[in-house]
């Protein structure tokens, strides 16, 4: 009797508590939402995005987040709230404050999501560590290897890969008249160059016409996944980088790390076999030398450095190369203007026939303008380069943002700022880099946060070249930009000197069926060039 009374009382108590919780939970949730909303309520943006990061996750999943960001800035202005604690900044004038050399805006939680696994744990690298001390330790011994003064020593590696690239194009397409998927071949080229300069070993993307060990796919998948998960980084910590879980089920080494480690091992074994006969000046041998000179460098640094090269240096350069050629082929006048510039340089004896040299290409103003315009219109990173507002908060675009707020500029947005680049900012116009009036030039210069002039021609124009936002800015900007520029400034003119590239309309099958009739070739410049038919759809 007493037992059933106690039980009944307990059940009543539970019921009352459930009722209280049932009433309070929605109330508490509402209070939580109000608190979340109020944190940045002074920054305009889509209402739902101010309450949950799921909205920006959905934008990324569309694979067109960059266009959504552009439209958001058109609707809401230079500051847009894109998450409960995240703000997208559209005004290039803020580049200096957010990414300036002082480096007091640390990288956000987005970046560790990009860390691949090695030996059961996440392996930080230069690009994806939030820890500034570790960044210093990793960067100091190797920064000089990427310097402009070292650049020419890597030129032979680019030359030998270019030669293989052209042999493959000749054998597979020029001789057979088949239509080439140039986008894919440029990607194979960029991967083989990184293999050559890092490990003195072409990896076989070109010769085998294949994705070696599926690495191109792995890198694509790695970035695609990280772009989405990085919108809600705690999910990654809980699921992918959870130390407790890793203790029970150690995660497999990432295919990208495995790939870089295997290539490094092969290269070391080969140089031992050849008794040091191999070229010792590739990145790997310089990394080994740098590590031996600096005892603060962790043991895993060699793997982190080589992995960084493969991860950060291949797809990015491929995207830039594809964008340049795609736009040149879509804009025959630009292509013709470039052909004329190349022909005139050749007539003056300033352009090698076989492989255009870096020193020859870097001073060609229209080539330079085309490369810059491609990087402006289609920067390889399509999301904000996220940073955290430091202690004390900050005023950005006239609005105060509390410490801890995530802010970032998406280069796609900044590079389309009409007040800087003119009313045609969304369209391809390389001449903007040559013809701008002085006032506009100065504005463009300030907006690009450029480090120092490189090209004497551009210096004369008041334009500077080195790093606009496609390579990031400040002390965390791209360490490999010189390497990627070396590849780009050499490949584009050499390719256009050797081939008359014709873009075919329609699908691959349609293009091949109509390959004689349906071809938009640029006018011949009189130089004997091989005709290369390339597919004309969807390759950037």
Least Å distance between CB 438 and ligand HEM? 29
The one among 78, 115, 450, 477 contacting ligand HEM by CB under 6 A: 477
Least Å distance between CB 409 and ligand HEM? 10
Assess contact for 211 and 192: CB atoms under 8 A.
no
Q: Which stretch binds ligand HEM (CB under 6 A): 57-65, 265-273, 314-322, 531-539?
A: 314-322
Least Å distance between CB 489 and ligand HEM? 12
Going from the C-alpha of 53 to that of each of 91, 121, 303, 346, the distances in angstroms are 23, 27, 34, 55
The one among 66, 271, 306, 316 contacting ligand HEM by CB under 6 A: 316
Rounded CA-CA distance 242/235 in Å is: 10
**Residue closest to 317 by CA, chosen among 216, 231, 202:** 216
| Torsions phi, psi for 406 (to 5 deg) | -90, 125
The one among 39, 139, 330, 454 contacting ligand HEM by CB under 6 A: 139
Judged by CB under 6 A, the number of residues near ligand HEM is 24
Q: Which stretch binds ligand HEM (CB under 6 A): 346-354, 355-363, 377-385, 398-406?
A: 377-385
Which residue, 195 or 365, is less far from ligand HEM as judged by CB? Answer: 195
Which residue, 258 or 481, is less far from ligand HEM as judged by CB? Answer: 481
Residues contacting residue 417 through CB under 8 Å, at least 6 positions apart = 90, 91, 92, 425, 447
Q: How many CB atoms lie within 10 A of CB 100?
A: 15
Residue sitting closest to ligand HEM (CB): 480
Assess contact for 72 and 46: CB atoms under 8 A.
yes
Q: Which stretch binds ligand HEM (CB under 6 A): 165-173, 201-209, 332-340, 465-473?
A: 465-473
Pick out residues in 10-69 that bind ligand HEM (CB under 6 A).
Answer: none
Q: Residue 471, interface with ligand HEM (CB under 6 A)?
A: yes
Q: Which stretch binds ligand HEM (CB under 6 A): 260-268, 450-458, 475-483, 526-534?
A: 475-483
Which residue, 365 or 474, is less far from ligand HEM as judged by CB? Answer: 474
- Pairing verdict, β 106-107 and 385-388: antiparallel
The one among 230, 480, 493, 536 contacting ligand HEM by CB under 6 A: 480
Q: Residue 483, interface with ligand HEM (CB under 6 A)?
A: yes
Please list the alpha-helical segments (H only) found in 294-331: 301-313, 315-330
Q: Residue 478, interface with ligand HEM (CB under 6 A)?
A: yes
Which residue, 126 or 501, is less far from ligand HEM as judged by CB? Answer: 126
Which residue, 4 or 149, is less far from ligand HEM as judged by CB? Answer: 149
> What is 413-456 written as a DSSP string?
HHTT-HHHH-TTTTS--TTHHHH--HHHHHHHHHHTT------H
Least Å distance between CB 462 and ligand HEM? 24
Collapsing DSSP states into helix, strand and coil, what is residue 405? coil
Q: Residue 127, interface with ligand HEM (CB under 6 A)?
A: yes
Collapsing DSSP states into helix, strand and coil, what is residue 95? helix
The one among 158, 228, 320, 374 contacting ligand HEM by CB under 6 A: 320
The one among 200, 484, 494, 522 contacting ligand HEM by CB under 6 A: 484
Residues contacting residue 504 through CB under 8 Å, at least 6 positions apart = 179, 510, 511, 512, 514, 515, 518, 519, 520, 533, 534, 535, 536
Rounded CA-CA distance 366/204 in Å is: 33
Least Å distance between CB 501 and ligand HEM? 21
Least Å distance between CB 324 and ligand HEM? 10
Least Å distance between CB 486 and ligand HEM? 9
Q: Residue 401, interface with ligand HEM (CB under 6 A)?
A: no
- Pairing verdict, β 399-401 and 117-118: unpaired
Least Å distance between CB 98 and ligand HEM? 10
Least Å distance between CB 376 and ligand HEM? 11
> 177: burial class by Cβ within 10 Å (0-12, 13-18, 19+)?
exposed
Residue 121, strand partner residues: 118
The structure tokens 């795609």 sit at: 326
List of residues contacting ligand HEM (CB under 6 A): 126-127, 139, 308-309, 312-313, 316-317, 320, 380-381, 385, 470-472, 476-481, 483-484
């Amino acid at each position: 009797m007493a037992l059933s009374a106690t039980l009944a009382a307990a059940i009543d108590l539970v019921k009352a508590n459930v009722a209280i919780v049932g009433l309070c939970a929605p109330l508490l949730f509402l209070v939580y939402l109000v608190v979340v909303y109020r944190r940045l309520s002074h920054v305009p943006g889509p209402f739902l995005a101010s309450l949950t990061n799921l909205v920006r996750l959905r934008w990324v999943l569309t694979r067109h987040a960059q266009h959504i960001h552009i439209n958001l800035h058109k609707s809401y202005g230079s500051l847009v709230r894109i998450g409960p604690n995240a703000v997208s900044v559209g005004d290039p004038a803020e580049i200096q404050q957010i990414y300036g050399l002082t480096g007091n805006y640390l990288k956000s939680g987005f970046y560790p999501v990009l860390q691949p696994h090695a030996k059961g744990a996440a392996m930080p690298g230069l690009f994806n560590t939030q820890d500034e001390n570790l960044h210093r330790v990793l960067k100091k011994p190797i920064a000089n290897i990427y310097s402009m003064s070292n650049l020419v020593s890597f030129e032979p590696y680019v030359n030998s890969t270019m030669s293989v690239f052209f042999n493959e194009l000749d054998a597979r397409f020029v001789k057979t008249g088949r239509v080439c998927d140039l986008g894919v071949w440029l990607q194979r080229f960029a991967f083989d160059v990184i293999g050559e300069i890092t490990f003195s070993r072409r990896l076989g993307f070109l010769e085998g016409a294949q994705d070696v060990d599926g690495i191109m796919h792995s890198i694509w998948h790695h970035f695609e996944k990280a772009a989405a998960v990085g919108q809600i980084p705690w999910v990654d910590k809980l699921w992918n980088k959870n130390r407790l879980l890793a203790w029970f089920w150690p995660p497999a080494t990432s295919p990208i790390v495995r790939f870089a480690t295997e290539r490094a091992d092969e290269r070391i074994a080969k140089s031992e076999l050849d008794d040091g006969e191999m070229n010792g000046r590739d990145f790997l041998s310089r990394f080994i030398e740098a590590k031996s000179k600096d005892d603060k460098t962790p043991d895993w640094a060699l793997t982190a450095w080589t992995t960084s090269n493969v991860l950060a240096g291949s797809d990015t350069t491929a995207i830039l190369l594809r964008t340049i050629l795609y736009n040149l082929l879509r804009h025959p006048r630009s292509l013709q203007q470039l052909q004329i510039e190349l022909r005139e340089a050749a007539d003056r004896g300033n352009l090698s026939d076989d492989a255009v040299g870096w020193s020859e290409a870097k001073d060609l103003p229209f080539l330079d303008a085309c490369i810059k315009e491609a990087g402006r219109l289609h920067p390889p990173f399509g999301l904000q380069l996220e940073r955290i507002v430091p202690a004390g908060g900050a005023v950005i675009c006239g609005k105060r943002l509390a410490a801890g707020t995530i802010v970032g500029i998406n280069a796609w947005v900044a590079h389309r700022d009409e007040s800087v680049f003119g009313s045609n900012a969304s369209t391809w116009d390389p001449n903007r880099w040559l013809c701008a009036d002085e006032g506009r030039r100065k504005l463009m210069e300030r907006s690009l946060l450029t480090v120092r002039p490189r090209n004497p021609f551009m210096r004369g124009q008041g334009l500077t070249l080195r790093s606009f936002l496609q390579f990031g800015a400040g002390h965390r900007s791209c360490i490999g930009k010189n390497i990627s520029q070396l590849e780009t400034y050499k490949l584009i003119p050499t390719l256009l000197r050797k081939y008359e590239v014709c873009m075919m309309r329609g699908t691959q099958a349609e293009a091949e069926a109509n390959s004689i009739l349906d071809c938009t070739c640029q006018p011949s410049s009189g130089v004997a060039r091989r005709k290369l038919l390339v597919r004309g759809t969807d390759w950037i």
